[in-house]
Amino acid sequence: MDKIHQSVNRHSNAKPIIILIFGVLIILSSLNTSLNSIYKNIGLLSLLIPLITINVGLLVHLLIKKKIPKSYQYIIVFSLILIAWYLIGVVTNSASIRSLIVPVQIMLMINFFIFCSLINWKITYIKKIAIVVSIYIVFSFIWWISSGMTLPFKAYMGNPNVFGAFTFFLLYFPLLSYASEHKKFKKNMWFLILILGIILCYVSMARSLWLCAFASLLTYMLWPHFIGSSRRYTWFYLWTIILVTCATVTYSKLSAFPKIVELNRWVFANTGKSLLSGRDKFWGSLIDSILERPVLGYGGGADLTDIAGITLSAHNLYIQIGLQVGIIGLVVFLLILASVWEMFWNGRNNKTVRISSAFMVGIIIHQMFEVCLTQNNVTVGLIQWLIMAIGVSASRLESNIDIYFKENT
């Protein structure tokens, strides 16, 4: 165990000021989702700085250490296969800049995850980011109040769904800070930030977040039950994927159900939101298109207008990947996530790992309605990979449940 601690600490040269800057850049990267061109450029730069810097950091690590811990072997192998599948698509399908950009984005994001998971994320580091997140939440809440409490609320972002997702996953940091805090006043302050953040998530009126938050909460509550055995733990991930698959297919057929119009009216009358979001109208045709080319798909530059006659995004990561690299590529991607899930096992009794795992299940559900982890809305995807990385970091260091929560430095 001491060797593991020494190894990770050698890789962790991050200073609190660097972590603070990192947190600021994460918040500023959300400007990339704005419709204002100036804000958008600032956001893009703020996104690229940590992403590229951390990828360079991983390269330096490889040059110095010439190896990565053995526990990463499956993630690396599956990632290489997925990227290779995308590159094969460049040759077999019509080549385009987009078909090259997507595998590069995937490589950058996975490298970001790997390097961040090698860092020893002390609770002091988590709190530095949580402080920046708190400023963002308070600022956004005041903005919402001053705007007349409009619904849906999106602040400076171009889409309320993006605002809701960005805010929800940022709550991971105040939540960890709350869980680690022993002083009553500070604990109450973190609790207040969490309440304000939850209100902001609600006023975004993002329906996908309701399922996402429910899945995360359910996972956290059931955690002691399914970590009773490694088999049960693995099956929990598999059942989550099966649920996502069945829900996606069922939703794509929803408009064909005889009673759906009546049910949709009832849901709208009681929630103010429509059960039919429009995705049901094109998911079916996209799934059919995947089945037509299940091996290699249509390439990373797949144009949904040419494939299914629609101008929108698939709004489903799994359908998007299936279109680009076929069912085989999609399975490989799910194996990457499965590898991350399995890396949580050693730290299953750690609070950080438990919270990270709960958020990871929420991320898997969220991707049923958005495309963040590999492409499109990378601003949210960066936070999602970071959450999983911190969980893996805690798991790798775990031998005693209070490794982070007893630190006072």
The per-residue pLDDT for range 158-174, each reduced to its tens digit, is 899 999 999 999 999 99
Q: Is the pLDDT of residue 120 over 50?
A: yes
For residue 278, the 8-state DSSP code is S
What does pLDDT average to over the chain? 87
Residue 146, judged by CB atoms within 10 A of its CB (0-12, 13-18, 19+), counts as exposed
Q: Are 79 and 336 in contact (CB under 8 A)?
A: yes
For 345, the 3-state DSSP assignment is helix
Phi, psi values for residue 287, rounded to 5°: -65, -40
% of the chain exceeding 70 in pLDDT: 86
Q: Is the pLDDT of residue 409 over 50?
A: no
Taking alpha carbons only, the member of 232, 281, 233 closest to residue 256 is 281
Alpha-carbon gap, residue 100 to 238, rounded angstroms: 31
CA distance 203 to 197: 10
In tens, the pLDDT along 218-235 reads 999 999 999 989 999 999
Question: What's the pLDDT at 246?
Answer: 93
Give the pLDDT score at 1: 44
What are 341-345's contacts with CB under 8 Å, separation 24+? 341/234, 341/237, 342/74, 342/234, 343/71, 343/75, 343/117, 343/392, 343/395, 343/396, 344/391, 344/392, 344/395, 345/227, 345/230, 345/233, 345/395
pLDDT given at position 154: 94
Count CB atoms within 10 A of the CB of residue 313: 14
Q: What is the mean pLDDT of residues 98-119?
A: 92
Q: What is the pLDDT of residues 292-343, one digit of tens each?
A: 999 988 888 777 766 766 666 778 999 999 999 999 999 999 999 999 999 9
Mean pLDDT in residue range 66-83: 91
pLDDT at 94: 67
Inform me whether the pLDDT recorded for 7 exceeds 50: no
Residue 187 buriedness (CB in 10 A; 0-12 / 13-18 / 19+): middle
State residue 81 phi and psi, 5-degree precision. Answer: -65, -45
The pLDDT of residue 177 is 96
Q: What is the pLDDT of residue 258?
A: 67
Least confident of 62-71, 134-143, 316-325, 329-338: 62-71
152 preceded by a cis bond (ω within 30 of 0): yes
pLDDT tens digits, one per residue of 357-401 = 999 999 999 999 999 999 888 999 999 999 999 999 999 987 543
What are residue 149's phi and psi, to 5 degrees?
Answer: 55, 45
What are the φ and ψ backbone dihedral angles of 371, each rounded to 5 degrees? -130, 100
Select from 166, 133, 116 the least CA-distant residue to 391.
Answer: 116
What is residue 344's predicted lDDT score, i.e. its pLDDT? 95
Rank 80-94, 241-255, 300-314, 371-385 by mean pLDDT and report only the highest. 371-385
Comparing CA positions, the residue from 207, 200, 169 lying closest to residue 361 is: 169
